[in-house]
Amino acid sequence: MTNPIGKRELNKARKRAEIVDIATRSFFEHGYAATSMSAIAEELGGSKATLWAHFASKQDLFAAVIDLQVDSFSQDIDEVLTSQTYSVPALRRACARFLECLLRENAIRLFRLVVSEGGRFPEIKEMFYSRGPVKLRKCVIEFFATRVSEARATELSRLMIAMITGFRSDILLRPSSPSMAEREAFVDSLVEMITRGIPDQPTPS
Amino acid sequence: MTNPIGKRELNKARKRAEIVDIATRSFFEHGYAATSMSAIAEELGGSKATLWAHFASKQDLFAAVIDLQVDSFSQDIDEVLTSQTYSVPALRRACARFLECLLRENAIRLFRLVVSEGGRFPEIKEMFYSRGPVKLRKCVIEFFATRVSEARATELSRLMIAMITGFRSDILLRPSSPSMAEREAFVDSLVEMITRGIPDQPTPS
DNA sequence: CAAAAAGTGTACTTAGTAGTACAGGTATGA
DNA sequence: TCATACCTGTACTACTAAGTACACTTTTTG
């Protein structure tokens, strides 16, 4: 076969993905320091040599894990608000979805990991920040800007995002996860509060 | 001397405090797993035997560290809202102070540590949660309840606290800390948003 | 089929970990 | 003064980690 992608490269990529998958679970569960490469190799079924054939070091593997998760998170965020115009129902829908994204198991674990290891791995912190929060804010500002001024949209975005991420902050430390009803009640009062600061009809220019 | 507190106990307490102090810095800087008891002993100047004379294990020492920090954080929180009645200036002052408390170096590091190790040490998570967030919310509800109904006060507290902790969430991941002006602007818009949902005058019962 | 590339198993090096044991030193308290 | 309680240094056990070396087998490719 003279395929541009031979079986060689395909298998290699598959193996790599498998390693990243196992490593993700381990880093998520035990944190960076308490995850051991030997344990990953064992779970993989293969040997350590295979691990080092794909990643030069533990840090390299960690970076690959975070990169993948950030990507998936970033995609989730993207899908919520693309080409939406402001309306109260659209706002409510968006808030509920954002909250859902942020409370997903993987998103919580990613956040935990970035918060705890960010100090020691600045490049990981930046990777997450630019593709996560920064992007999110841009989307939300655009959404509000379809109804209010850019300055006001920025202000509202900041408050709205703060409320949603603040809710997550609490979840991180709570013994049990919040009920559906609690989440809905929170979104309702959040939306009510935000809409108080927005005129019912678009101001004609 | 027949003092109830002899030099013996005093010295012991001092040594203990010194150990906790060094351990605090190390846990804050490197996290739980990456902090070594040997390193603490070395920095202490003493020997490992001394460490184990005061704390039965690394986990014990860690718990003592968190306990002390939670206490100090809890006291800070207490001082902000004691016997305050609702008014817009009081609200603004309280928000500014809460934000200041939450953004203190030690509070941030404590939060980081509790978030990252909370999964592995549930008792630490609970210790922090009950003496931190739970207490804070109670104070804020009481404050709002001097003006609005209890139910409404609960709702407003949730939103207000979410906004403030959400601001911190962002800080945790940002490359640089926020300017004074940014903090003030945030508090201003937060206060404006909250006060929209509160009558200017107390409703006569 | 044969060469090349990748994966595997095992054993290894080097270094660091929590925690222990013990002998000698030093401050305290009666 | 003198026993007690604590502190210190050193050496130790038992274990685990990251990363390497190497001979071996399997799979892919031409």
For A100-156, write each residue's pLDDT tens digit.
999 999 999 999 999 999 888 999 999 999 999 999 999 999 999 999 999 999 999
Residue A184 placed within a domain: yes
pLDDT at A98 over 70: yes
CATH (domain of B99)? 1.10.357.10
Residue B7 placed within a domain: no
Residue A129 placed within a domain: yes
Nucleotide nearest to A33 (CA to C1'): D17
Please state the rounded mean pLDDT for residues A162-177.
Answer: 93
CA distance B191 to A193: 12
pLDDT at B1 over 70: no
Give the DSSP letter of residue A204: P
Provide, as residue numbers in chain B, all residues whose Cβ is less than 8 Å from the Cβ of A161: 166, 170
Give B145's contacts (C-beta < 8 A, 6+ positions apart): B153
pLDDT at A43 over 60: yes
Out of B32, B159, B169, closest to residue A193 by CB? B159
CA distance A182 to A5: 50
Tokens of B84: 């305050």
3-state secondary structure B117-129: HCCCCHHHHHHHH
pLDDT level of residue A5 (50, 70, 90 thresholds): low
The torsion angle over the Cα atoms of residues B79, B83, B89 and B95, rounded to 10 degrees, is 40
Q: Percent of chain B scored above 70 by pLDDT?
A: 95
**Residue pointed to by tokens 């794909």:** A54
Q: Is the distance from CB of A135 to CB of A74 less than 8 angstroms?
A: yes
The structure's pTM equals 0.90
Mean predicted lDDT score pLDDT of chain A: 91
Residue A6 has a pLDDT of 66
Mean predicted lDDT score pLDDT of chain B: 91
Residues B86-139 pLDDT 10s: 999 999 999 999 999 999 999 999 999 999 898 889 999 999 999 999 999 999
Number of domains forming the structure of chain A: 1
Q: Is the distance from CB of B170 to CB of A157 less than 8 angstroms?
A: no
Does residue B39 lie within 7 Å of nucleic acid chain C, judged by its CB? yes
* Separation in Å: D24 C1' and A49 CA: 13
Residue B179 placed within a domain: yes
**Residue pointed to by tokens 């956040």:** A111
Tokens of A31: 């944190």
Q: Is the distance from CB of A39 to CB of A22 less than 8 angstroms?
A: no
Residue A110 placed within a domain: yes
Tokens of A61: 């593997």
pLDDT at A4 over 50: no
Provide, as residue numbers in chain B, all residues whose Cβ is less than 8 Å from the Cβ of A196: 193, 196-197
pLDDT level of residue B5 (50, 70, 90 thresholds): low
Residue A121 placed within a domain: yes
**Residue pointed to by tokens 């293969």:** A46
pLDDT at A1 over 60: no
CA distance A70 to A133: 11
Residue B56 placed within a domain: no
CA distance B26 to B67: 15
Q: Do B128 and A173 touch (CB under 8 A)?
A: yes
Residues B163-200 pLDDT 10s: 999 999 999 999 888 999 999 999 999 999 999 988 87
Coil, helix or strand at residue B36: coil
pLDDT at A162 over 50: yes
Q: Which of A73, A69, A143 is nearest to A101 (CA)?
A: A73
CA distance B82 to B124: 26
Does residue A11 lie within 7 Å of nucleic acid chain C, judged by its CB? yes
Q: Do A167 and B167 touch (CB under 8 A)?
A: no
Nucleotide nearest to A36 (CA to C1'): D17
Please state the rounded mean pLDDT for residues B62-66.
Answer: 95
pLDDT at B38 over 70: yes
Tokens of A77: 């965020």
Measured CB to CB, residues of chain A less than 8 Å from chain B are 30-31, 33-34, 112-120, 122, 125-126, 128-129, 132-133, 155, 158-159, 161-170, 172-175, 186, 189-190, 192-194, 196-197
Coil, helix or strand at residue B19: helix
Name the maximum alpha-carbon separation found in chain A.
Answer: 67
Residue A57 placed within a domain: no
Instruction: Determine the structural domain holding residue B69 and report its residue range.
Output: 62-195
Residues B118-129 pLDDT 10s: 888 999 999 999
- The minimum CA-CA distance between A50 and chain B, rounded to whole Å, is 26
A 10 A CB-CB count for A80 gives 19
CA distance B91 to B146: 12
Out of A122, A190, A197, closest to residue B159 by CB? A190
Please state the rounded mean pLDDT for residues B153-157.
Answer: 96
